[in-house]
Structure 1
Amino acid sequence: MHTVQVSLAMTLVGHQNPIFALDYAPASASLFTAGNDRGIVEWDMNTGKFNRVLCSVPASVYALHFLEASNTLLAGLRNGEIWLIDVEKQQLLKKMKVDKGAVFAIRYLAEKNELLAIGEEGVAYVWSLESFDLLYRFRVSSTTVRSIQFDAVNNELLFGDKDGHVYRYDAVEFKELHKQKIHSMPVTALLLSGEHLFSGGRDAQLYRLGKEDLSVQQNVTPHLFTVYGILKHPGAGVLTTVSRDKSIKFWDSESLALLKNVSIERGFDSHHLSINAALYVGANNQLVTVGDDKLVKVWNVDVATT
């Protein structure tokens, strides 16, 4: 079992609207955040200061993904566009676009240097990031898909859709391997950890699934409302979940026992509206959370084994 101590390191203020997405550039210690502001913001995590608006965008941003090798940032937009941005030059390199609807999730397939995007229409698109040609287009679901996980070991993709289904796909030929109904409402978060897949939903449920057959191995009710993020602590066997109920919770990854509840009600200077996304960053494994209250919160998380 573990014990978890959490303290607020800093609050980054500047967004004028809800924040939906974030990612981190380790070499420069730059944090990127975006949402309804029509702009992607860059923060200096060494100083906790606003750095710049990296670029303006024509629509809300639902997904960010930083590519360290090329120092570029991918952004998935409500208008169906995916932007590739050169961070150093502050330059838009390429726009890609899905046929219809918003882009809710993007993943980089490093071995093939390909980008996969999916969203409102349940169709996945795969582009080459060398030629920018659209290589594949395949339907995963008849409804919205908000979550992707990439299993680099087995070269597989995992998706979660609005009807509560979880899918396993071959990442080479993009063929469905398995499909399972898990949630009674939309799947809103997935986390691949070892041989397990964790799934969170709008039904406020958290499931531990077998990665192969997607069988339910354990189920808890972690929050009062939608689970918007599931993260693995980089240095310990601890899971972190964030939710529309404004709380951050820490769990033992083996037993799913609750270790810590961080919220205003528990005396923390935390978010007072929905927490929409979270990320562990930096050598000290700080947790960054963003939400509808337009705030970026940076937390010190200390984990000890008991």
Structure 2
Amino acid sequence: MIEIKNTGILPGHQNPVFTIESGLEPHTFFTAGNDPGIVKWDLRQMKHEKVLAKVNTSVYALHRPVTRPILLTGERSGQVSAIDLVNEKPLKVLSLHRFPVFDIKTSGRKGLIYVASEDGYVSVWSLEDFHHVYTFQVSKDTVRSISLSPDEQQIAFGCRDNSIKIYDTAELSPVAELEGHTMSVFSLQYSPAGNYLLSGSRDAQLKIWDTASYTQVRSIPAHMYAINHISFHPGHRWFATASMDKTIRIWRLEDFAPVKTIDLAGMGGHALSVNKLLWVNDRTLVSVSDDKNVMVWDISLESEENPG
């Protein structure tokens, strides 16, 4: 039986919180949303440490590359900023998009930054010196989400036109277009082994795609409303989904079975849409919401992982 406890409700934001990302230290993380700043939190103290940086418009995306100690931020204005996390100072502003930036990912092997925007384009930047490398149109509508395959050979884009576009990262050429969702694709995640691509949509469906053929394996009515985010547990056997229906669900990757639901009534969960999740470690999940709260969850998977 999985055991879940709410170990902290961290107030501080005055407006909805849209995104979350890990810090350099295992006990720190960052959040941002409709507030005029990016907040740094300390899990040891269970409180906010400081405002890392001020922003001019809402922040929809935060991303920390594995290979460099910086934080990349995507704003409603289209601006992308790089913040030096060692000195905690602004480093560079990447100006190109004129519409909101919804997702940012990086390739450590290629040393590239990928930025997805409401304008339907994806811009590519050097992770080393931040020069603009390339821009290409993925959709005639908004590009909402990005996921890189574990081997970084392919990159998937979730779009507002209900489609998922798969590109080869070597030439940035299209490989496949996946159709099946009936509304915008809000979240994409390749499985840790790379054999599946999981997609979550405004249509509340969780779809599983086989990456060898990019055919649909399963379609699961996972939530009542939009699936905002999909996040894999560090142990790779589990994943969590966050939804506009105010709930978080824990799933078993082996058979895509739901094993636990975190909600307001039963567990003191969020009162409004859950927007993003972060596994801080193999027992700690942090969630952010339109209700302005940051919540910390202690999740024990030991009994499920080691039956008997």
Same fold (TM over 0.5): yes
Following superposition, the deviation at residue 128 of structure 1 comes to 1.1
The answer on whether the counterparts of 1:234 and 1:285 sit within 8 Å (CA) in structure 2 is: no
Following superposition, the deviation at residue 236 of structure 1 comes to 5.0
249-258 or 197-206: bigger deviation? 249-258
CA distance in 2, matches of 1:36, 1:234: 29
Following superposition, the deviation at residue 132 of structure 1 comes to 2.1
Report the counterpart of residue 101 of structure 1 in structure 2: 99
The answer on whether the counterparts of 2:97 and 2:117 sit within 8 Å (CA) in structure 1 is: no
- 1:230 to 2:230 alignment: yes
Amino acid at match of 1:7: K
The answer on whether the counterparts of 1:148 and 1:190 sit within 8 Å (CA) in structure 2 is: yes
Determine which of 77, 82, 95 is the counterpart of 1:79: 77
- 1:252 to 2:252 alignment: yes
The answer on whether the counterparts of 1:166 and 1:182 sit within 8 Å (CA) in structure 2 is: no
Following superposition, the deviation at residue 115 of structure 1 comes to 0.9
Report the counterpart of residue 49 of structure 2 in structure 1: 51
46-55 or 63-72: bigger deviation? 63-72
- Output one character per residue of 1:75-127: Cα deviation in whole Å (capped at 9) or x when no partner: 00110010001123221110002333110010111122221101101101011
Amino acid at match of 2:276: A
Determine which of 164, 168, 171 is the counterpart of 1:170: 168
- 1:137 to 2:135 alignment: yes
Following superposition, the deviation at residue 176 of structure 1 comes to 0.6
Report the counterpart of residue 19 of structure 1 in structure 2: 17
Give the TM-score normalised by structure 1. Answer: 0.95
The answer on whether the counterparts of 1:251 and 1:257 sit within 8 Å (CA) in structure 2 is: yes
How many residues align? The count is 302
Report the counterpart of residue 286 of structure 1 in structure 2: 284
The answer on whether the counterparts of 2:24 and 2:85 sit within 8 Å (CA) in structure 1 is: no
Amino acid at match of 1:281: V
Report the counterpart of residue 179 of structure 2 in structure 1: 181
The answer on whether the counterparts of 1:157 and 1:170 sit within 8 Å (CA) in structure 2 is: yes
Report the counterpart of residue 269 of structure 1 in structure 2: 268
With over 3 angstroms needed to count, the CA separation of the structure-2 counterparts of 1:132 and 1:232, relative to structure 1, is: closer
Following superposition, the deviation at residue 187 of structure 1 comes to 0.3
Following superposition, the deviation at residue 69 of structure 1 comes to 4.1
CA distance in 1, matches of 2:285, 2:71: 20
Pairwise CA RMSD: 1.4
- Output one character per residue of 1:238-286: Cα deviation in whole Å (capped at 9) or x when no partner: 2211100001111221222221111012x2111000000001013x431
- 1:219 to 2:219 alignment: yes
Task: Give percent identity, aligned residues only.
Answer: 35
Aligned residue for 1:111, secondary structure, equals coil
CA distance in 1, matches of 2:136, 2:127: 18
Following superposition, the deviation at residue 68 of structure 1 comes to 4.7
The answer on whether the counterparts of 1:33 and 1:42 sit within 8 Å (CA) in structure 2 is: yes
Aligned residue for 1:261, secondary structure, equals strand
Give the TM-score normalised by structure 2. Answer: 0.94
CA distance in 2, matches of 1:99, 1:37: 21
Runs of 5+ unmatched residues, structure 2? none
TM superposition outliers: structure 1 runs of 4+ over 6 Å: none
